Structure 1
Amino acid sequence: MKKYLTTFLLLAFLATGIFTLYACQDGVTDGDNESGGGNNDDEAIIVPEYKDYLRGTVNFSDISYQRPDIDQIISDFDAVCSAIEENTETFEKQLEMIKALEDGYNELLTMRSYANILAYKDTSNAYWQAENEYISTNFPSFSKSVENMLVTAANSAHAERFEEEYFQNDLIATYKDGGKYTDEVVELMEAEAELESRYSSLSTANVTIAYKFKRDTVDNILAFYADSLGINSEEYKTVETDCLEIYESEVQKLSEELLVDLFKIRRDISDEFGHTSYAEFAYDVMDHEYSESDFENFLCDISRFLLPVYQKLSSYIFNQYDFSNRGQIEQNRLINGTADIMKNADAKLYEIYSYMLQHSLFDVSPSSSNRFDGAFTAYLDSYNAPFIFISTEGDVTDYTVLCHEFGHFADYYINYSASTSLDLSEVSSQALELLALTQFDGILSEQTVNNLTLYKIEQTLSCIIFQGFYAAFEHIAYDIPKENISIETLNDAVKTAATTVGLNSNVIDALGYVTIPHIFLYPFYVQSYCTSAALSLEIYFAELNDDGSGFEVYMELLDRGEDKLTFDEHLERVGLTSPLESDYLRVIADRIHYELMGSHYFKDYNGGENAA
């Protein structure tokens, strides 16, 4: 708990995992099945020889779920508060009592992650959905009890010793003046968690639709017609298409209604916390260490510098390639191939990947109707263990997703999930995606690597632009007076946001363009994708200039050490510039323009060069 308690109030607002937006990707191969280093399709996962990593980790399959008794955990925290206030015990005894809270604290966080993973593994499983909702809706009360203990310790007779010997210099400055968790805050956050759970449970197993003379869940309707018509019949395929269209329309309607309610309740939460705006509150929670005006300038630079280059590259290069012809790749080949990438790249990364394989700390499985269609990394506190969840597409773009999530995994492994700037955290994932492109020798064909590289650069530019659009929407929409928040005013915010980053507001004009998970579950998260993608390109260019130098910067940035540095200070110590600096995106845009339009290494497959 020593490394968590004083940063807990940030973590309390976040879900257990770091989510990434990989639900829809285009394939980029030449259409052949990739041999992946000469292995067969049915190859087994190669698990390295056993090593004791001294972290107390067990295999994921050996973890058993025990519903946390949140009322008892809260009671334990309250009892320690009373003991500190009464001050009849020695300092040593009081410190021992605080340390004794660690097991319950870590167990709750671990079971929260575990239930979250299982709920996303099968969104139709009512048990895991209920467990996930139970923990989520009771979490604000738990957060309040933790804060109460910290405030009590900060105002106790032993405050300075508590800080020096246990809380690492954070306690008094943060909690001396009291806490923020009022009963009203807890009530509002419980209501917010309930709305988020309702959004997360939207699936074909739970959403009911009306089809012909039947009203039921999509899964039940399809099961009925599969039985009566035959699942391979043309009639059934028509029914399936019709039902899914109705389902998507119903989900969009339900999502928009939930979003209006979430925007309103979050405004109430920020007001209760004493912030002047929800953006100010969210910047605190997400630890964005720059001002709103700095980020607004960044968004303007997307429109001024990056979008024109992206549009030109799309016309001359990106649109010339057929990204729809997907080569297939088996799950185990993907996992083994990524092991080879890490082995080629860096000894420490390979060690961490081996640890992941040894303890089965991943669920990398094909997308399905009742499986969360995306990817995230969670942390199992009781075992000091990260965990990767990915729903795959079955083609080589899955390599980029696995490398992305493994970047988060490595960050969690090295830093024990210690809280840091999200803008920095996302560099650990996005930079590794790009750096991995230089390590595919013997794993994929040269042609496939070239296509994958081109695809990844296009996706990274697109990430900065469109995540910037989502972020602009959040800044605009959360500034709407609460009494005026409606689907109509949010639609207007979408159009204004599109204009902010230079997109066509005559086309991008409705909430359907922004109904992504982060908008519902992680407000003001997406802007970290923009800043980190720009930094990741800078690190990637360093690797292109000098083999190994990009990985060197990446590994130095990954290991944050014990010093509590700011976002800018971390960048400075490894020789990087803040992406919020004036003209940063212009330099990035110029470099990409040169590499793709003026360099020699992206050739079309007819022997010519892709030059203007």
Structure 2
Amino acid sequence: MRFQDMPYERIDFAKVQEEMGELIRELDAAKSGEEQFEVHKKYYALTDRVMTLMTIANIRFDIDTSDKFYEEEHKYYDEQGPVFSNLVLAYQKKLYESPYRAYLEEKIGPVAFKNMELAQKSMSEALIPLMQEENSLTMEYDKLIAGAKIDFDGKELNLSLLRPYLVNSDRNVRRQAWEKMSAFFLENEEKLDRIYDKLVKNRTAQARAMGYENYLELGYYRMNRNCYGKDEVEAFRRQIKEYFVPFAEKLHDRRRQRLGLEKLSYIDEQVYFKDGNPAPTGTPEEIMAAGQKMYRELSPETAEFFDFMMENQLFDVLGRKTKKAGGYMTYLPLYHAPFIFANFNGTSGDVDVITHECGHAFQGYLAAQDPIREHADIGMETAEIHSMSMEFFTEKWMNLFFGDRAQDYVEMHLEDAAAFIPYGCMVDEFQHIVYEHPELTPAERKQAWSRLEREYKPHLDYEGDPFFGQGGFWQKQLHIYDYPLYYIDYCLAQTCALQYKVKMDADFTEAWKSYLKLCRLSASDFYTNMIKKVGLDSPFEPGCVKNIVEKLEKYVK
């Protein structure tokens, strides 16, 4: 079914509560694991319906944040979402404590039960008012960013539509664009500080209500980190500082020479070629048609997937003034349908949507064939391997999008992928500092960010910019506000995607088989087990990062 034709009605959570209560009573009355599993299938049907309707409402609001009807629906789910989470928790607690647990664990897997354990540690009915407040604060941030109105080049632009000017080949143009963006954030600095300060205090209060010292423990549980913890993440970041930061700095210096500059300024940070970054040559419609040709040629599985997405109009990719910033893939369980949301703006980022977000969506499409819903509950460190690796697997088709600049794009993509990892680790370390020290003032948080920039990105020069030069860059990073502790997942995944890059250059067919296997494993096993099963090295293992850097050196000489 086409997305626009999917019916929507507001969920009656009082009725959902009754239905969930009845399922719990049926679990209690069941006389065997087989009977309980039949009840669990009814639970799948109920949660599929609820999640589908909530997702439809949220997508339609993101598509147009000025739509009053869906704004009210979005607010309603921000209030009721935590209530629903608590109902799910009560049901899962019964399942977790079942006398037939051995049978159920064999049916739905040990990962599912570990995640139920983490859910018990991360949610309580007492948290509902705080979670509702947290949702309203993140919505306030999203609306503030989506509502940016920046006068530039005779147009009124939002931040997504300003993006092409930020990477313009003319340094004067991009300087003016960066100054305009800086001015927007400086003008809204007090609001941004207030929202984030409230979010940190709110999340800290949630953690303490659950008996934790700070938000980090609660946040790790909520991110479903079921086979590693803070110590492993810190060890990974140390590897990045020791081996990857020097490598990334070499890439930045190589880029500086290519641009013919004496030094790199912050306005050059995302520019790779003197004549500008490669940009897609076609219209949005032509980009989508090229994507369909690419996926039809890549494999039978991707052909079926992309045809399904196009036939059912499961993309909304055009940038518009009142559209939420950013991009994502989400999933509509009732229709076994992934959905991709993005903001095309004429830059190479438009093609990244067709590779990165389609990597997520392709895995979601494959996972829909698995009747065990819990297998779709993948951790983000695994989910991002699917997307970031797809960016590399599709490189052979970049001529469809970039014409004679396809090789420029491939070079830029590898440099950008490698240079991202130090930034992503910096975002993660910043959040650890913030939540370990919730008493920090907004000014102290910015000082911490500036210190980390000197460690992770020593080449960076803000030239005295009044906002970004004062440690404010993180306030444009949506994940820090909306999805705490998420960002390290990108870095863990990128180290795996770079391993696939090396593998596919040696044997594309075998690398693709490994990738398909990983996609199909979904969440049927723990992350650290799955990557070994498909022949990848764990980013947590000593020497993993050093080994990747050594293999990448050949690409940049």
Q: TM-score, normalised by structure 2?
A: 0.81
Residue in structure 1 matched with residue 228 of structure 2 by the alignment: 290
1:494 lines up with 2:449 in the alignment: yes
Shift of 1:373: 2.6
Equivalent pair of 2:192/2:475 in contact (CA under 8 Å): no
1:382-408 C-alpha deviation (Å, 9 max, x unpaired): 112111111112244422221100000
Shift of 1:548: 2.6
1:264 lines up with 2:201 in the alignment: yes
* Correspondence for 2:291 among 323, 328, 338: 338
Residue in structure 1 matched with residue 425 of structure 2 by the alignment: 468
Shift of 1:477: 1.0
Residue in structure 2 matched with residue 374 of structure 1 by the alignment: 326
* Correspondence for 2:248 among 310, 314, 318: 310
1:254 lines up with 2:191 in the alignment: yes
1:425 lines up with 2:353 in the alignment: no
Which of 308-317 and 524-533 deviates more? 308-317
Equivalent pair of 1:468/1:526 in contact (CA under 8 Å): yes
Residue in structure 1 matched with residue 365 of structure 2 by the alignment: 413
Which of 489-498 and 59-68 deviates more? 489-498
Rate the CA distance shift 1:174–1:410 in 2: closer, same or farther, 3 A: closer
Residue in structure 2 matched with residue 567 of structure 1 by the alignment: 527
- Alignment partners' CA distance in 1, 2:500 and 2:362: 17
Rate the CA distance shift 1:274–1:93 in 2: closer, same or farther, 3 A: same
- Alignment partners' CA distance in 1, 2:228 and 2:106: 31
- Alignment partners' CA distance in 2, 1:242 and 1:461: 27
1:129 lines up with 2:54 in the alignment: no
Shift of 1:163: 2.9
Give aligned-pair identity as a percent.
20
1:318-365 C-alpha deviation (Å, 9 max, x unpaired): 651223574542111111111222223222112211111122211121
Aligned-partner SS, 2:340: strand
Rate the CA distance shift 1:292–1:409 in 2: closer, same or farther, 3 A: same
Rate the CA distance shift 1:153–1:551 in 2: closer, same or farther, 3 A: closer
Aligned-partner SS, 2:376: coil
1:75 lines up with 2:18 in the alignment: yes
Residue type matched to 1:432 in 2?
A: M
Which of 373-382 and 340-349 deviates more? 340-349
Shift of 1:199: 1.5
Shift of 1:276: 4.1
Aligned-partner SS, 2:339: strand
* Correspondence for 2:306 among 347, 350, 353: 353
Shift of 1:99: 4.4
Bigger relative CO (Cα 8 Å, ≥ 6 apart): 1
Residue in structure 2 matched with residue 37 of structure 1 by the alignment: none
Equivalent pair of 2:196/2:481 in contact (CA under 8 Å): yes
Rate the CA distance shift 1:440–1:510 in 2: closer, same or farther, 3 A: closer
1:583 lines up with 2:540 in the alignment: no
Which of 383-392 and 96-105 deviates more? 96-105
Residue type matched to 2:24 in 1?
A: C
Residue type matched to 1:148 in 2?
A: A
Equivalent pair of 1:427/1:532 in contact (CA under 8 Å): yes
Residue type matched to 2:9 in 1?
A: Q
Question: Larger helix proportion, structure 1 or 2?
Answer: 2
Q: How many aligned positions are there?
A: 504
Q: Determine which structure has more spread, i.e. the larger CA radius of gyration.
A: 1
1:486-508 C-alpha deviation (Å, 9 max, x unpaired): 21232233134334535379966
- Alignment partners' CA distance in 1, 2:386 and 2:85: 28
Rate the CA distance shift 1:202–1:514 in 2: closer, same or farther, 3 A: closer
Residue type matched to 2:333 in 1?
A: D
Q: TM-score, normalised by structure 1?
A: 0.74
Equivalent pair of 1:376/1:389 in contact (CA under 8 Å): yes
Equivalent pair of 2:10/2:53 in contact (CA under 8 Å): yes
Aligned-partner SS, 1:363: strand
1:200 lines up with 2:142 in the alignment: yes
Shift of 1:283: 2.0
Residue type matched to 1:547 in 2?
A: F
Equivalent pair of 2:9/2:53 in contact (CA under 8 Å): yes
- Alignment partners' CA distance in 1, 2:436 and 2:118: 29
- Alignment partners' CA distance in 2, 1:353 and 1:307: 37
Shift of 1:272: 2.5
Equivalent pair of 1:68/1:111 in contact (CA under 8 Å): yes
Which of 432-441 and 247-256 deviates more? 247-256
- Alignment partners' CA distance in 2, 1:596 and 1:377: 32
Shift of 1:114: 1.0
> Could you list the runs of 5+ residues in structure 1 that have no partner in the other structure?
1-57, 210-217, 220-239, 598-612
Residue in structure 1 matched with residue 211 of structure 2 by the alignment: 274
Equivalent pair of 1:407/1:429 in contact (CA under 8 Å): yes
Kindly report which structure 2 residues correspond to 1:56-135, keeping only aligned pairs within 5 A, or say none.
Answer: 58-82=1-25, 87=29, 99-135=41-77
Shift of 1:67: 0.9
- Alignment partners' CA distance in 1, 2:498 and 2:145: 36
- Alignment partners' CA distance in 1, 2:533 and 2:85: 34
- Alignment partners' CA distance in 1, 2:244 and 2:34: 58
- Alignment partners' CA distance in 2, 1:149 and 1:265: 26
Aligned-partner SS, 1:386: strand
Residue in structure 2 matched with residue 592 of structure 1 by the alignment: 552
> Could you list the runs of 5+ residues in structure 2 that have no partner in the other structure?
151-155, 158-176, 259-272, 369-374, 463-468
* Correspondence for 1:151 among 80, 85, 93: 93
